[in-house]
Amino acid sequence: MPGAAETLPYQQPFFIRVNVRRNLDGAKFMMHPVSEDDLKWLVPETREHPYLFIAKGHRPDFEELDLRRLAYIAELLTGLTTERMQSLGVRVVFMETRSDAILAEYPPA
């Protein structure tokens, strides 16, 4: 629905925080509990997966996760397609768990 995002009853963008914990085996992506609740409020019918782990043979470099892979991760965690995220004004923010540094945002600005 073109223009529907402008009439929604919340401020945009609607941020969903994903904590990223990297270790020697790979990276664990976990939706922040408050973001899980926010997403259920926004889209009650969504079937999100609150965390996933991507294994690697060496310490993962977050920059290796290109936009295509970030799209898959964001869609798996939220249960929303990229198109649905954009129409709702949702932005997934990937943050380093230990430092709270922002690693990436999806969809990109």
Q: What is the pLDDT along the chain (109 residues), one digit of tens a residue?
A: 344 444 556 777 889 999 999 887 788 999 999 999 999 999 999 887 888 998 876 555 656 667 778 889 999 999 999 999 999 999 999 999 989 899 889 987 7
Find out whether 94 and 20 touch, Cβ atoms under 8 Å. yes
Instruction: State the DSSP code for 56.
Output: -
Domain count, the chain: 1
> What is the extent of the structural domain holding 58?
4-106
Task: Please tell me the pTM assigned to this model.
Answer: 0.81
- The 10 Å CB-count burial string (b at 16+, else e) for 67-77 is eeebbebbbeb
**Angle at the Cα of 52 from the Cα atoms of 44 and 49, rounded to 5 degrees:** 15
**Angle at the Cα of 71 from the Cα atoms of 109 and 84, rounded to 5 degrees:** 75
